[in-house]
Amino acid sequence: MREDVDSIVDALNALPAPKPGGSCFLPGWARYLLVLDYPDRAATVVVEVHKACDDVWNGKVVRSGDAEDPLNAFAEVFRKQGGEIAPPPWKW
* CA dihedral of residues 38, 45, 47, 83 (deg, nearest 10): 40
Mean pLDDT across 39-67:
81
pLDDT for the residue 91? 79
pLDDT for the residue 1? 61
State the average pLDDT for the chain. 81
Mean pLDDT across 27-51:
79
**Whole-angstrom distance, CA of residue 67 vs CA of residue 70:** 6
The answer, yes or no, to whether residue 82 has pLDDT greater than 70, is: yes
Parse the chain into domains and list their residue ranges. 6-18+28-80
The answer, yes or no, to whether residue 5 has pLDDT greater than 70, is: yes
**This prediction's pTM:** 0.75
Run of H or E residues at 35? strand 31-37
